[in-house]
Amino acid sequence: MSNIKLWTRNFITLVGANGLLFAGFHFLLPTLPLYAASIGASGAEIGIITGIFGFSAIFIRLFTDAGVRKFGKKKCLYLGLLCSFLATLSYDMFTSVYSLIAARILHGIGFGLSTTFAAALVADVIPAQRRGEGIGYFGLGSTVAMAVAPALGVMLLTDFSANILFFTSMIVTFLSAVSAKLCNAKEAPLPTEKKHMSIRHKLCEYGTGIPSILTILFGAAYGSVNTFIAMMTSEVGIENAGLFFIVGTIFVFISRPFGGRIFDSKGGFWVILPGGILYLIGLGILVSAQSLTVLLVASVFYGFGGGLLLPSLMTWMLNVVTPDRRSGASATFYNMLDIGTSSGIILLGSVAGSIGYVNMYYYVIGVMVIFIAFFMFNHFVLQKKVKKQNQQEELA
């Protein structure tokens, strides 16, 4: 397996494009609310500006099947990157709240298209025998962006200006498009027969039900940690909480290569179950943290667990569909992750308002317990039942 080349020109350019795309997005994630407040946006308007991005990304992914049939994966990727570039350009051109909301919708559309088709294309260029490993490396760019770009964005806004912040995001997004353009990969052929799909199956690709449910559950836990860790550490009086993400990112890097190899050689069970347990241990340590040292120990398990789980869930979805449906599977993964993240933040954030952020994390622990229990039930009960039915049909 190791003799099959992974790091081709096409793979490297798509990894670079994906990482730069996420960097352009994460520059703005913590800073746009601050900028919106500075131009007079109310709390409700800031909430709309923050939330409308995810909903527009989910909405545009409903049309990825029609888009890929009409234009192909590459052109859809370029269209998404163009929308993202124009959105980052428009942030600096317009200063009203409503124009900011419009730009955010355009950015969500661009981000939804770009992430979907970058993942679909990279699945085409990765050798099937090394898909788990390749998807793990593919996600490292977005992991680095998540750890580094928000802090840099805040620095650019506070130490320089909003103009410099938006210009930097625009340049990084432009470089993402340049990197994607350097990819000359051949796309997997599409079937000649057009298949009618309901809205439900446009949102969730055929055959991806189990990994979709798991992705929603993990998205709720993952998004809640990322969003509320600063509030939680402030509640218990721990300073320098940003180190949690830096240390966590280091261990995501460590986990990705060998996690992907295990997935390819032994199957998803040997990666997803350990990843879920490690993440659960990290949450258990997190709720008991009273010092920076304990918080960073929790981040080690957080990084290991998250580093194993996210690419494994994506690889699982890409593996259970035919090559012509990888765009749909990729859209499903990001849709389920966005749904889980958004719903988790809203529901758990409302809980935290009543019981505090530390106690809220007990609910996050509960979500991960459900994740592990559902995965085990699927592996040991549902799959055996399906195999038994298949054997009975073969005998008949």
In this predicted model, what pLDDT tens digit does every residue of 181-237 receive, in sequence order? Answer: 999 877 766 655 556 666 677 778 888 999 999 999 999 998 888 777 877 888 899
- Report whether pLDDT(386) > 70: no
- For residues 354 and 275, give the distance between their C-alpha atoms in angstroms, rounded to a whole number: 31
Q: Would you state the pLDDT for residue 194? A: 58
Residues 179, 250 within the same domain = no
- For residues 214 and 69, give the distance between their C-alpha atoms in angstroms, rounded to a whole number: 29
Q: Would you state the pLDDT for residue 384? A: 67
User: If 0-12 CB within 10 Å is exposed, 13-18 middle and 19+ buried, where does residue 70 land?
Assistant: exposed
List the single range of 18-27, 32-41, 378-387 with lowest mean pLDDT: 378-387
Whether 218 and 371 have beta carbons less than 8 Å apart is answered as yes
Residue 106: inside a domain, yes or no?
yes
Q: Which token pair is 144? A: 């680095």
CATH number at residue 61: 1.20.1250.20
Query: Which residue, of 185, 211, 232, is where some domain finishes?
Result: 185
pTM check: above 0.85: no
Residues 219, 97 within the same domain = no
- For residues 106 and 101, give the distance between their C-alpha atoms in angstroms, rounded to a whole number: 9
Residue 321: inside a domain, yes or no?
yes
- For residues 373 and 307, give the distance between their C-alpha atoms in angstroms, rounded to a whole number: 20
Residues 39, 11 within the same domain = yes
Angle formed at CA 203 by CA 17 and CA 346, multiple of 5 degrees: 85
Query: Which residue, of 155, 185, 215, is where some domain finishes?
Result: 185
- For residues 362 and 287, give the distance between their C-alpha atoms in angstroms, rounded to a whole number: 7
Residue 271: inside a domain, yes or no?
yes
In this predicted model, what pLDDT tens digit does every residue of 68-95 receive, in sequence order? Answer: 888 889 999 999 999 999 999 999 888 8
Query: Which residue, of 185, 214, 229, is where some domain finishes?
Result: 185
Q: Which token pair is 220? A: 């709720």
In this predicted model, what pLDDT tens digit does every residue of 260-286 receive, in sequence order? Answer: 889 989 989 999 999 999 999 999 999
In this predicted model, what pLDDT tens digit does every residue of 42-71 receive, in sequence order? Answer: 877 877 887 788 889 889 988 887 888 888
- The residue to which tokens 């800073």 are assigned: 31
Residues 275, 380 within the same domain = yes
Residues 130, 225 within the same domain = no
Total domains in the fold of the chain: 2
Q: Would you state the pLDDT for residue 334? A: 86
Residues 240, 360 within the same domain = yes
In this predicted model, what pLDDT tens digit does every residue of 336-368 receive, in sequence order? Answer: 998 888 788 778 877 887 888 899 999 999 999
**Which of 213, 237, 231 lies closest to 333 in space, CA to CA?**
213
Q: Would you state the pLDDT for residue 390? A: 55
Q: Specify the DSSP class assigned to residue 321.
A: S
* Residues 6 or more apart whose Cβ sits within 8 Å of residue 5: 127
Residue 195: inside a domain, yes or no?
no
Computed over every residue of the chain, the mean pLDDT equals 86
| DSSP conformation letters of 181-228 | HT--PPPPPPPSS-----HHHHHS-TT-HHHHHHHHHHHHHHHHHHHH
In this predicted model, what pLDDT tens digit does every residue of 129-174 receive, in sequence order? Answer: 888 889 988 988 887 887 788 878 888 988 899 999 999 999 999 9
**Which of 286, 273, 140 lies closest to 226 in space, CA to CA?**
286
Q: Which token pair is 83? A: 């929308």
Per DSSP, which regions of 236-338 are E strands? none
Angstrom distances, CA of residue 364 to CA of 79, 207, 300: 37, 27, 17
> What is the domain extent for residue 367?
203-391
Angle formed at CA 202 by CA 343 and CA 210, multiple of 5 degrees: 60
Distance spanning both ends of the chain, measured CA to CA: 38
* Residues 6 or more apart whose Cβ sits within 8 Å of residue 357: 228, 231, 232, 235
Q: Would you state the pLDDT for residue 104? A: 92
List the single range of 15-29, 178-192, 246-260 with lowest mean pLDDT: 178-192
Residues 238, 159 within the same domain = no
Q: Would you state the pLDDT for residue 1? A: 47
Residues 230, 159 within the same domain = no
Whether 41 and 97 have beta carbons less than 8 Å apart is answered as yes
Residues 274, 300 within the same domain = yes
- For residues 199 and 190, give the distance between their C-alpha atoms in angstroms, rounded to a whole number: 20
Residue 330: inside a domain, yes or no?
yes
Number of helices (H) and strands (E), helices first, in the chain? 17, 0
- For residues 370 and 358, give the distance between their C-alpha atoms in angstroms, rounded to a whole number: 20
- For residues 214 and 275, give the distance between their C-alpha atoms in angstroms, rounded to a whole number: 12
Q: Where are the alpha helices (DSSP H) in 320-380?
A: 326-355, 357-377
Q: Would you state the pLDDT for residue 151? A: 77
Buried b (16+ CB within 10 A) or exposed e, 278-315: bbbbbbebbbebeeeeebbbbbbbbbbbbbbbbbbbbb
* Residues 6 or more apart whose Cβ sits within 8 Å of residue 50: 32, 33
Angle between helix 292-319 and 131-138 (nearest 10) = 130
Q: Would you state the pLDDT for residue 12? A: 94
- Report whether pLDDT(389) > 70: no
